Amino acid sequence: MQIFFPKEEAHEIRATILPEVAKKFIDLGIEVSVESGLGDNVFVSDELYKQSGASICSSSEEGFQGADVVCKINKPTSDEIKLLKKDTIYISFLDPFNEKQIVSELASANVSSISMELVPRITRAQKMDALSSQANLAGYAAVIEASRTLTKSFPMMMTAAGTISPARVFVVGVGVAGLQAIATAKRLGARVEAFDTRPVVEEQVKSLGGKFVKIDIGETEETDQGYAKELTPEQIKMQQEGMKKICSQSDVIITTAQVFGRPAPRIITEDMVSAMQPGSVIVDMAVSTGGNVEGSKNDEYVFKDGVTIIGMSNLPGEVAKDASQVFGSNLFNMIEEFWDKENKVINFDLEDEILKGCVITHQGSIVNESVK
């Protein structure tokens, strides 16, 4: 069996795999090929991939022709799908709820596709959870970007000229990204507050040294995967009212609120932005799914009433080498879990809880119930 790792599109800094993980695949008995230049953005040469045992393809077309499995970080283009052989296994983030056309094309091409963001949140699948591993790094990168943009320091400082007060950071949404944002801001010395619609995360916030903000918005729920369920318009209004004062006092706001498979909720209004002090910074981590902040734009810095609104869709790419390392490890763990060592094939058992959750297309059909 041969697995191919093509280069990503020009805007993507991360590489799908690094040489040390490529070697793990080879040790399983899998032939590994990578497109020339795959690791250029993270300063990993073709020669290092060769030393791991991988072969180098001069073009993606060459790699697709011989591949039984193709792995990328981002969804395939229509042109790439046309290059895939029948019964190829394609693994990447697919965004299947919003990319219906791509899903349909994969099914029509008789490609078995796995969407990494749909790996179920169960103990057995934690080692494959690429969504969480990338979100962890994104939470870190969001705070670092905010600290770079903010015109004051994060920690309290005692100087001969007087005391500099710590920056006030408010994190909205306490999932994987939010927790890492809290931890990073605290390590930098900021005063951190956080809010989530799920009261159960209060202890996690406190364990990291943050203060949990309580806002009564009525009954809230979470999915069986641990994600917050979508709020009603009335609940969002109550949340906004409860957050107004905290936002006006914050130097930095990090928003991470997303509803799985749906557009991100609009949480921070223009009025809330205008109430912030000039020089304040907002990082909208949900900008690629519609944004939590009114006025945020994908991959742009927006300046509104003296406030900088940062909308970076690829925050993990700011720490691209680490993001590449963990994504490749997630892929390896996925394939190793279902690898038949004797026959040297992937055991594609759709009754398995993990594959049932993340396989989107198989044998010419869309098989995932949540995507149909």
pLDDT per position as a tens digit, 231-259: 788 888 888 888 899 999 999 999 999 88
Report pLDDT for 262. Answer: 83
| Whole-number Å distance between alpha carbons of 283 and 264 | 14
Burial 165-189, CB ≥16 within 10 A → b, else e? ebbbbbbbbbbbbbbbbbbbbbebe
Q: Is 363 a catalytic residue?
A: no
Q: Is 227 a catalytic residue?
A: yes
Question: Domain 2-129+320-365: which CATH class?
Answer: alpha beta
Residue boundaries of the structural domains of the chain = 2-129+320-365, 150-313
Report pLDDT for 227. Answer: 58
Q: Is 126 a catalytic residue?
A: yes
Domain 150-313 carries which CATH code? 3.40.50.720
Q: Catalytic residue among 36, 95, 121, 248, which? A: 121
Report pLDDT for 232. Answer: 80
Q: Is 51 a catalytic residue?
A: no
Q: Is the pLDDT of residue 223 over 60?
A: no
Q: Catalytic residue among 52, 112, 115, 129, which? A: 129
pLDDT averaged over every residue in the chain: 94
Q: Catalytic residue among 132, 248, 249, 288, which? A: 132
pLDDT per position as a tens digit, 12-22: 999 999 999 99
pTM, to two decimals: 0.92
pLDDT band at 122 (very low <50, low <70, confident <90, very high): very high
Is it true that 2-129+320-365 and 150-313 share their CATH fold? yes
